[in-house]
């Protein structure tokens, strides 16, 4: 197949041709969804009828409910769109990688000061930690410090005891960044004893100046500083060479370990064997995140009760108006909505869908409408055996890494949320085809 996409090696033009549909599917889809939501402007109760659970018959056509007339019919195939434009676009010619440093970027030797060690402890799930690691490299560069390999969060909601080197290829990380930031595996000992770094936090979205004012004096005094809960602690806007460094870290220096890559590739190969193309769907529909969103998903009193109970966990969460949240596009799509959106975009019933998800609220019942629209639904658990997944399954981050790979290699990537993983994958599709 001409469109084989090799990870981390040669990113061919072919690979590239598949990039834009993913991006445009997501944005187009969201637009369309806004469109149809605002047109029909459903109140939560109407919505309940308008996307009824389990209302799709086998051939993917909405059943007429006796009380409420059906508002639309879902075609089995999306014939308006040619196969070509579903998987390709000429626009991709206009994208190019831009991770390389400019020639104004000073050499690492001239900016790494002795006796300045920066450590970080990340926070959150795999992809949130990944953004933390990316920012840590840039923070070290801003501070002219040597970075110690980041400590991963082992206590988060996702509870994974894996260390950095069990998820990412450490040596690759260090060598890949040789020209940017000095990275070492461990803090050196001091006076023959273990050196405990000074622990502190920086505010969220701290910019260059903020690091110079808040961290630099401490670093110069203590020589080793650990920034804890390190996520979103660096401003989004930075000067261009620091942004490019971000890209080099996130898209080039962070590479999963060989066992993870091998298993991920195996899953990708299995998806490719099933058909010419596949769509990867990152579906976040865990009860927690639904409760946190404050949105209503059409599950009636039962849902209101159940999610309301979980919601009480966050004391500071103010109650919002679910109807308004939805109209403003702040609610993650339900599996059914994702299915309708894909069908509306022209994807047929025979398309293979790889679903990367955690626990789905409502389980099979929630997934049934999506399955009716796209019967070829797969996941790690359906395309790999228990034994194959055994080395990964007790570790949420390693499992997330496998999903990341399959989504990354997909022809089209679509998501029901705009979280860390979706953002990173969209970014990869912009910058990778060097
Ligand atoms: C970026 O740098 C790499 C390694 O030095 C080089 O191989 C590649 O051609 C450069 N890409 C661009 C677009 O300049
Ligand atoms: C980092 O090093 C450069 C080059 O020596 C210098 O201009 C800059 O002020 C230094 N910044 C910090 C935060 O030490």
Neighbour tally for 374: CB within 10 Å: 24
* Average confidence (pLDDT) over 18-40: 45
* Average confidence (pLDDT) over 140-167: 92
* Average confidence (pLDDT) over 151-162: 85
CA of 214 from ligand 2 middle (Å) equals: 15
DSSP assignments along 311-380, one per residue:
HTT-TTPPP--HHHHHHTT-SPPPHHHHHHHHHHHT--TT-EEEEEESPPTTHHHHHHHHHHH---EE-H
Higher pLDDT, 23 or 288: 288
What does residue 219 show for φ and ψ, rounded to 5 degrees? Answer: -65, -40
Take atom 12 of ligand 1 and give the residue whose Cα is closest: 100
For residue 384, the model assigns a pLDDT of 98
Tokens (6 digits) for 393: 């399954």
Higher pLDDT, 44 or 379: 379
Say if residue 48's pLDDT is above 90.
Answer: no
* Average confidence (pLDDT) over 285-303: 92
Residue-wise burial string across 379-389, b where 16 or more C-beta atoms lie within 10 A, e elsewhere: bbeebbeeeeb
* Average confidence (pLDDT) over 303-308: 93
Atom of ligand 2 nearest to the CA of 216: 13
Q: Is 375 in the pocket of ligand 1 (CB under 6 A)?
A: no
Query: pLDDT, tens digit, for every residue of 173-224?
Result: 999 999 999 999 999 999 999 999 999 999 999 999 999 999 999 999 999 9
Place of tokens 């195996």: 266
**CATH classification of 108-255, choosing from 3.30.420, 3.40.50, 3.90.550, 1.20.120?**
3.40.50
Query: pLDDT, tens digit, for every residue of 101-151?
Result: 999 999 999 999 999 999 999 999 999 999 999 999 999 999 999 999 999
For residue 261, the model assigns a pLDDT of 98
Beta strand 224-230 pairing with 117-122 = parallel
Place of tokens 């499992």: 399
Q: Residue 433: pLDDT band by 50, 70, 90 thresholds?
A: low
Say if residue 156's pLDDT is above 90.
Answer: no
Say if residue 405's pLDDT is above 70.
Answer: yes
* Average confidence (pLDDT) over 39-43: 37
Q: What is the DSSP letter of 252?
A: I
Say if residue 251's pLDDT is above 80.
Answer: yes
Q: By C-alpha distance, which of 268, 326, 320, 321 is closest to 297?
A: 326
* Average confidence (pLDDT) over 46-70: 40
Atom of ligand 2 nearest to the CA of 116: 14
Q: What's the CA gap between 408 and 431, in Å, rounded?
A: 13
Residue-wise burial string across 23-32, b where 16 or more C-beta atoms lie within 10 A, e elsewhere: bbbbeebeee
CA of 212 from ligand 2 middle (Å) equals: 10
Average pLDDT across the chain, whole number: 84
Atom of ligand 2 nearest to the CA of 212: 13
Q: Residue 325: pLDDT band by 50, 70, 90 thresholds?
A: confident
Q: What's the CA gap between 339 and 334, in Å, rounded?
A: 9
Take atom 2 of ligand 2 and give the residue whose Cα is closest: 111
Higher pLDDT, 74 or 407: 407
Higher pLDDT, 406 or 20: 406
Q: Residue 358: pLDDT band by 50, 70, 90 thresholds?
A: confident
Say if residue 2's pLDDT is above 50.
Answer: no
* Average confidence (pLDDT) over 353-357: 96
Q: Which of 104, 105, 106, 111 to mutate to test the pocket of ligand 2 (most atoms within 8 A of CB)?
A: 111
Q: What's the CA gap between 400 and 359, in Å, rounded?
A: 13
Q: What's the CA gap between 376 and 311, in Å, rounded?
A: 34
What does residue 126 show for φ and ψ, rounded to 5 degrees? Answer: -50, -50
Take atom 13 of ligand 2 and give the residue whose Cα is closest: 143
For residue 112, the model assigns a pLDDT of 97
Place of tokens 């949240």: 325
Higher pLDDT, 298 or 81: 298
Tokens (6 digits) for 31: 């637009």
Q: Is 144 in the pocket of ligand 2 (CB under 6 A)?
A: yes
For residue 81, the model assigns a pLDDT of 63
Inter-residue contact 218 to 225 (CB < 8 Å): yes
Inter-residue contact 78 to 412 (CB < 8 Å): no
What does residue 195 show for φ and ψ, rounded to 5 degrees? Answer: -105, 115
For residue 421, the model assigns a pLDDT of 96
Tokens (6 digits) for 346: 């022209």
CA of 100 from ligand 1 middle (Å) equals: 6
Q: Is 210 in the pocket of ligand 2 (CB under 6 A)?
A: no
For residue 20, the model assigns a pLDDT of 44
Q: What's the CA gap between 205 and 79, in Å, rounded?
A: 46
DSSP assignments along 197-250, one per residue:
PEEE---TTB-HHHHHHHTHHHHHHHSEEEEEEESS-B-S---HHHHHHHHHII
Q: Which residues have C-beta within 8 Å of that of residue 360, sequence separation ≥ 6? A: 283, 285, 286, 335, 366, 367
Q: What's the CA gap between 204 and 234, in Å, rounded?
A: 7
Inter-residue contact 426 to 6 (CB < 8 Å): no
Residues of the chain with CATH 3.40.50: 108-255
Say if residue 237's pLDDT is above 70.
Answer: yes
For residue 74, the model assigns a pLDDT of 61
Take atom 5 of ligand 1 and give the residue whose Cα is closest: 100
CA of 161 from ligand 2 middle (Å) equals: 37
For residue 35, the model assigns a pLDDT of 40
Say if residue 57's pLDDT is above 80.
Answer: no
Say if residue 342's pLDDT is above 50.
Answer: yes
Least confident range from 17-21, 69-73, 168-172, 344-348: namely 17-21
- This prediction's pTM: 0.82
For residue 411, the model assigns a pLDDT of 94
For residue 73, the model assigns a pLDDT of 60
Q: By C-alpha distance, which of 317, 323, 284, 252 is closest to 97?
A: 252
Say if residue 327's pLDDT is above 70.
Answer: yes
Q: What's the CA gap between 128 and 153, in Å, rounded?
A: 10
For residue 38, the model assigns a pLDDT of 38
CA of 254 from ligand 2 middle (Å) equals: 26
Q: Is 111 in the pocket of ligand 2 (CB under 6 A)?
A: yes
Q: What's the CA gap between 256 and 272, in Å, rounded?
A: 21
Atom of ligand 1 nearest to the CA of 96: 13
Ligand that lies nearest to the alpha carbon of residue 139, given by its number in the listed order: 2
Tokens (6 digits) for 50: 């308008």
Q: Is 100 in the pocket of ligand 1 (CB under 6 A)?
A: yes
């Amino acid at each position: 197949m001409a469109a084989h996409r090799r990870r981390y090696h040669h990113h061919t033009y072919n690979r590239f041709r598949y990039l834009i549909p993913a991006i445009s599917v997501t944005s187009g889809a969201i637009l369309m969804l806004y469109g149809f939501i605002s047109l029909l402007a459903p109140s939560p109760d109407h919505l309940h009828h308008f996307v009824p659970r389990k209302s799709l018959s086998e051939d993917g056509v909405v059943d007429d409910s006796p009380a409420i007339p059906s508002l639309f019919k879902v075609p089995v195939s999306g014939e308006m769109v040619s196969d070509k434009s579903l998987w390709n676009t000429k626009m991709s010619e206009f994208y190019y990688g831009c991770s390389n440093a400019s020639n104004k970027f000073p050499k690492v030797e001239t900016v790494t000061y002795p006796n300045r060690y920066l450590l970080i402890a990340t926070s959150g799930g795999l992809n949130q930690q990944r953004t933390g690691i990316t920012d840590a490299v840039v923070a070290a560069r801003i501070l002219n410090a040597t970075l110690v390999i980041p400590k991963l969060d082992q206590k988060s909601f996702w509870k994974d005891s894996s260390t950095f080197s069990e998820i990412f290829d450490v040596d690759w990380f260090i060598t890949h960044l040789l020209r940017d930031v000095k990275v070492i595996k461990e803090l050196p000992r001091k006076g023959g004893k273990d050196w405990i770094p000074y622990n502190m936090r920086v505010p969220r979205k701290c910019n260059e100046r903020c690091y110079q004012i808040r961290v630099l004096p401490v670093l110069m005094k203590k020589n080793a500083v650990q920034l804890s809960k390190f996520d979103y602690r660096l401003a989004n806007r930075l000067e261009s060479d620091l942004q490019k460094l971000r890209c080099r870290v996130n898209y080039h220096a962070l590479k999963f370990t060989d066992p993870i890559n091998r298993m991920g590739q195996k899953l990708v190969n299995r998806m490719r064997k099933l058909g010419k193309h596949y769509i990867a769907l990152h579906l976040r529909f865990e009860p927690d995140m639904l409760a946190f969103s404050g949105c209503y998903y059409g599950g009636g009193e039962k849902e209101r009760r159940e999610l309301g109970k979980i919601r009480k966990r966050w004391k500071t969460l103010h109650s919002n108006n679910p109807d308004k949240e939805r109209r403003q596009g702040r609610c993650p799509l339900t599996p059914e909505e994702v299915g309708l959106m894909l069908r509306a975009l022209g994807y047929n019933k025979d398309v293979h869908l790889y679903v990367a998800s955690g626990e789905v609220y409502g389980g099979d019942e929630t997934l049934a409408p999506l399955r009716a629209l796209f019967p070829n639904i797969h996941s790690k658990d359906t395309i790999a055996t228990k034994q194959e997944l055994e080395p990964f399954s007790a570790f949420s981050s390693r499992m997330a890494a496998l999903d990341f790979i399959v989504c990354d290699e997909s022809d089209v990537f679509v998501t029901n949320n705009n979280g860390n993983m979706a953002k990173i994958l969209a970014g990869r599709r912009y910058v990778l085809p060097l």
